[in-house]
């Protein structure tokens, strides 16, 4: 860890050890290549749409719940703090974090499952692959190329999972899935920063919505022990302040645990280069004790929140909206906006999937009403 180059560890991703961009471009003047990637992502259309896409709660259900946009910003905050502490490339971590959910459909996981079902006969739909498709192909911002022409390592970080079948279609980016190689430590950080962010903010949103209670959380060790600490330090504390004091401690404990465990693993692996990272096992991780506490917390959230009947009513409706939109456009591609029609002539199902996946929650509802509501034009 003492060997650093420009403030970064020797095994960090840097401009000079990167595999670069697909289309050659002049180097940026006052920024690093990964700062430029981060900036391109922030200026993209898909990034702005994240504001109106569901994380757990549909955007219009309340103004204070997380959306995919605020979720992505929280992931970037946690990820950057971890990267900086480990002398890794925090600009890369920020870029990947801000882009990691770009490919999500409207209505969260329910929407993705429904679209995947619709696309079963046409190559399937997977949100990680769709995020990559957006930054590689779908964004229309540059004269010289499709997409954002991001650095290899940013694209590698965005493509978190991938089946062997899809990996074979992805060229150099698919190699690591077939050759059993690990992505950069920066990409590994983004995975766990995502997990820390949603586990904690879903407790906050869950409590705020009234779908879960503090009483229930007394059975979840990670929450209960930090809540006990807060009550000991501030015996009079109640309400939102108590919840926030608890959650900030949980985030701190998880990040600290991850830093301790990862520093140990990196030291033991004797990394000297980025190549060593690809060949080593996954090195960014929680301690076994924290992994177990996280497993229990996730199990609680799944049962108590994600499968709460009020959430299921919403996801059930969402699935139907996605299915019906997809079917209507597939049956009659002339219903698509003009810019999708030429594309639909080449690959009808994929054009429909791209159109539906790109919708925000409220646009999907509006489009559904326009197509199906009697008396509405
Ligand atoms: Mg996420």
- From ligand 1's centre to the CA of 193, what distance in Å? 9
- From ligand 1's centre to the CA of 23, what distance in Å? 28
Tokens representing 246 are: 């608890």
CATH number at residue 218: 1.10.3210.10
Q: How far is CA 326 from CA 53, 157, 320, 354, in A?
A: 18, 29, 10, 10
- From ligand 1's centre to the CA of 60, what distance in Å? 20
What residues contact residue 326 under an 8 Å CB cut-off, 6+ apart? Answer: 114, 115, 118, 352, 353, 356
What's the structural domain count of the chain?
Answer: 1
With respect to residue 377, please indicate whether it lies within any of the assigned structural domains: no
If DSSP states are collapsed to H, E and C, what string results for 339-360?
Answer: HHHHHHHHCHHHHHHHHHHHCC
Residues around ion ligand 1, judged by CB within 5 A, are 101, 194
Domain range enclosing 328: 4-372
- From ligand 1's centre to the CA of 45, what distance in Å? 18
pLDDT along the chain (377 residues), means of 10: 72 96 95 97 96 74 80 97 98 98 92 94 93 96 96 95 84 87 97 97 93 96 98 96 98 98 98 97 98 97 92 90 96 91 91 96 93 78
Per-residue model confidence (pLDDT) at position 1 = 42
- From ligand 1's centre to the CA of 308, what distance in Å? 20
Q: Contact at 8 Å (CB) between 247 and 217? A: no
- From ligand 1's centre to the CA of 334, what distance in Å? 34
Per-residue model confidence (pLDDT) at position 66 = 86
Distance (Å, rounded) from C-alpha 357 to C-alpha 105?
4
134: DSSP letter? I
Place of tokens 């996280």: 294
- From ligand 1's centre to the CA of 229, what distance in Å? 29
- From ligand 1's centre to the CA of 191, what distance in Å? 8
Per-residue model confidence (pLDDT) at position 2 = 44
- From ligand 1's centre to the CA of 71, what distance in Å? 7
- From ligand 1's centre to the CA of 159, what distance in Å? 12
């Amino acid at each position: 860890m003492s060997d650093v180059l420009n403030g970064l560890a020797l095994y960090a991703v840097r401009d000079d050890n990167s595999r670069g961009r697909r289309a050659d471009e002049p180097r940026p003047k006052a920024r690093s290549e990964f700062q430029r990637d981060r900036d391109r992502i922030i200026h993209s259309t898909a990034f702005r749409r994240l504001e109106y896409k569901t994380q757990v709660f549909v955007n219009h259900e309340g103004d204070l719940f997380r959306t995919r946009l605020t979720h992505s910003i929280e992931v970037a905050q946690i990820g950057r703090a971890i990267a900086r502490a480990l002398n890794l490339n925090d600009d890369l971590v920020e870029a990947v974090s801000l882009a990691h959910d770009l490919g999500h459909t409207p209505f969260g996981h329910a929407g993705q499952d429904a679209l995947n079902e619709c696309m079963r006969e046409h190559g399937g739909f997977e949100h990680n692959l769709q995020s990559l498709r957006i930054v590689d192909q779908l964004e229309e911002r540059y004269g010289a190329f499709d997409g954002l022409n991001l650095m290899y390592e940013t694209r590698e970080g965005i493509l978190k999972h991938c089946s062997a079948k899809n990996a074979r279609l992805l060229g150099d980016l698919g190699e690591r899935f077939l050759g059993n190689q690990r992505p950069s430590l920066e990409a590994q950080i983004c995975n766990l920063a995502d997990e820390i962010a949603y586990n904690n903010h879903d407790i906050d949103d869950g409590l705020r919505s009234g779908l879960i209670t503090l009483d229930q959380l007394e059975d979840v060790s990670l929450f209960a022990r930090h809540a006990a600490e807060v009550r000991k330090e501030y015996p009079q504390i109640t309400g939102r302040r108590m919840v926030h004091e608890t959650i900030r401690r949980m985030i701190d404990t998880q990040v600290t645990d991850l830093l301790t465990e990862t520093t140990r693993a990196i030291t033991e692996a004797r990394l000297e280069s980025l190549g060593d990272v690809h060949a080593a096992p996954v090195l960014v991780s929680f301690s076994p004790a924290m992994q177990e506490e996280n497993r229990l917390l996730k199990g609680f959230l799944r049962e108590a929140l994600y499968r709460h009947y009020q959430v299921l009513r919403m996801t059930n409706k969402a699935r139907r909206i996605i299915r019906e939109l997809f079917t209507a456009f597939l049956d009659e591609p002339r219903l698509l906006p003009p810019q999708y029609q030429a594309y639909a002539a080449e690959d009808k199902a994929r054009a429909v999937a791209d159109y539906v996946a790109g919708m925000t929650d409220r646009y999907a509802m509006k489009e559904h009403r326009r197509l199906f509501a009697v008396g509405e034009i």
